[in-house]
Chains A and B, each alone.
Chain A
Amino acid sequence: MKSRKRVLAFVFVMVMSAVAFFWSTPFIWMMITSFRPKLYGGLDMASLWPDFSPSLINFKLAWESAPFLIYYMNTVIVVLGILIVQLVTVSFSGYVFARLTFPFKNTLFYLFLLQLMIVPPILIVPNLSTLVKLGLYDTLLGIMAPYFASAFGTFLMRQTFKTIPADFEEAAIIDGASFFQVLWHVLLPLARPALTAFGIVSVVYHWNEYLWPLMVTSSPSTRTLTIGLASFTQAAEGASEWGVIAAGTVIVILPLGVAFIAFQKQFVNSFMFSGIK
Chain B
Amino acid sequence: MNVADRSLRRLTEWRSAKGFRVRTQLKPYLLLLPAFFFLTMFTYYPMVKVLRQSMFTKPHGERAEIFVGAGNYARMFRDMAFQKAMKNNGLYALGTVVPSIVLALALALLLNRSNRFNNFIRSLFFFPTLIPLVAAAGLWWFFFFPGYGLLDYYLAKLGFSETHWLGDSDIALYSLMLLTVWKNAGYYMVFFLAGLQGIPQDVTEAAVIEGANWWQQLRYVTLPLLRPTTAFVLVIAFMQMLSNVDHVIVMTKGGPQNSTNLLLFYIYQNLNEFYDVGKASAATVLNVVILLAVSIVGLRVLERGIHYEI
Contacts and interface: CB of A to CB of B under 8 A. Distances in A.
A56 interface: no
B264 A121 contact: yes
B139 A29 contact: yes
Interface stretch (B33-41, B93-101, B215-223): B33-41
A36 B53 CA distance: 52
A276 to B, nearest CB: 6
Contacts of A12: 110
A26 B35 contact: no
A79 interface: no
Interface stretch (B74-82, B117-125, B201-209): B117-125
Interface in B43-89: 43-47, 49-50, 53
B150 A29 contact: yes
A129 B65 CA distance: 15
Given A226-B135, A229-B134, A275 B46 contact: no
Interface in B150-198: 150, 152-154, 182, 187, 190-191, 193-194, 198
Contacts of A151: 39
Nearest to B110: A16
Contacts, number: 257
B250 A233 contact: yes
Interface in B94-119: 110-111, 117, 119
Contacts of A194: none
B131 A208 contact: yes
A208 B247 CA distance: 12
B25 interface: yes
A226 B132 contact: yes
Nearest to B277: A125
A119 to B, nearest CB: 6
B292 interface: yes
Given A16-B121, A45-B142, A146-B42, A126 B50 contact: yes
Interface string A250-266: 00110011001000100
Contact of A116 (B149, B232, B267, B295): B295
B141 A123 contact: no
B133 to A, nearest CB: 6
Given A121-B264, A242-B142, A92 B34 contact: yes
Interface in A1-41: 12-13, 16-17, 20, 23-27, 29-30, 33, 41
A25 B154 CA distance: 12
B225 interface: no
B7 interface: no
A249 B137 CA distance: 10
Given A45-B142, A46-B153, A229-B134, A89 B28 contact: no
Interface residues of A, number: 92
A89 B37 CA distance: 10
Contacts of B191: 272, 275-276
A102 B187 contact: no
Interface in A99-124: 100, 102-103, 105, 108, 111-112, 114-124
The size class of the interface chain B forms with chain A is 35 or more
Nearest to B38: A149
A248 B268 CA distance: 26
Contacts of A42: 148
Interface string A125-140: 1111110000000000
B261 interface: no
Looking at B127, B140, B198, the one whose CB has the most chain A CB atoms below 10 A away is B127
A263 to B, nearest CB: 11
A95 interface: yes
Nearest to A154: B35
A195 interface: no
B153 to A, nearest CB: 3
A253 B150 CA distance: 21
Contacts of A116: 295
Contacts of B49: 126, 129-130
B280 A267 contact: no
Interface string A182-218: 0000000000000000000000100111110011000
A179 B132 CA distance: 39
B143 A123 contact: no
A256 B39 contact: no
A93 interface: yes
A65 interface: no
29 contacts: A23-B128, A23-B182, A46-B149, A46-B152, A103-B14, A114-B43, A114-B44, A117-B295, A122-B284, A123-B43, A123-B50, A125-B284, A126-B53, A130-B42, A146-B41, A149-B35, A149-B42, A154-B35, A210-B132, A211-B249, A214-B249, A245-B138, A246-B139, A253-B135, A256-B130, A257-B130, A271-B129, A271-B187, A276-B191
Interface of A: 12-13, 16-17, 20, 23-27, 29-30, 33, 41-43, 45-48, 88-90, 92-93, 95-96, 100, 102-103, 105, 108, 111-112, 114-130, 145-146, 148-151, 154, 162, 179, 204, 207-211, 214-215, 225-226, 229-230, 233-234, 237, 242, 245-246, 248-249, 252-253, 256-257, 260, 264, 267-268, 271-272, 275-276
Given A120-B43, A210-B132, A234-B250, 9 more contacts: A16-B117, A20-B121, A20-B124, A46-B148, A93-B35, A125-B50, A125-B277, A162-B309, A275-B190
